[in-house]
Homo-oligomer: A and B are copies of this chain.
């Protein structure tokens, strides 16, 4: 038995939560029940549950049990806030239009992040999307994904915000980390056209690198945001 019991139990429960065997707000089996059904002690069960708490997949109530958390929404990586609502307001719905369908191609010259040899070798999947908040274009997004073990990717439909969802479901690829460089610049012609701005308007420009649960596998994005009416909003801990 090379894989520790607590990790096995953690994986099992995680799958059951993600696949809906345990719904949001539902109670997990109690620690004592899990002890009995898996023939392990409570310390081991608690170790597994601690992992789930750390991942915010569950939270615990003394005297009640372990409750499945509401599905977290996109980490605040891509949320917009109305100019006036500022805080606590409901987020406006975001739609997405694909300007350039995912295609395999070489990396651009002078790419904005240094790439590993392996990344350069395999090339990348490139796609271009335009995001709308409240039916106004707010963000132009260029995304680059290394073509590593992603067979069949081009066939999936990325209609909505489903890029990360697709990667998660089909390739077990999760985003665990984001690094970003942010600047305010004067938009060029193509950008002003796409975002419906005047010449010379200021836009937010962001280079992003997403880290994943595969070591040395990163996803890159270059973003241009019209922040005239909506602010780009995010929050983070620690």
A residues adjacent to B (C-beta < 8 A): 43, 54, 56, 75, 81, 86-88, 112-114, 176-186, 200, 202-205, 207, 209, 225, 227, 231-238
Chain B residues within an 8 Å CB radius of A86? 112-114, 181, 207
Whole-angstrom CA separation of A89 from B115 in the bound complex: 15
Total identical chains: 2
Known A-B contacts A113-B86, A236-B177, A236-B236; the reply to A182 vs B204 at CB < 8 A is yes
Judged by DSSP, the binding face of A is strand
A183 to B226 CA separation, bound complex (whole angstroms): 8
A181 to chain B: closest residue by CB: B231
Q: How far is B213's CA from A237's CA once the two chains are assembled, in angstroms?
A: 12
Residues of B within 8 A of A112 (CB): 86
Query: B residues within 8 A CB of A186?
Result: 202
- Hey, which chain B residues are within 8 Å of A180, CB to CB? 233-235
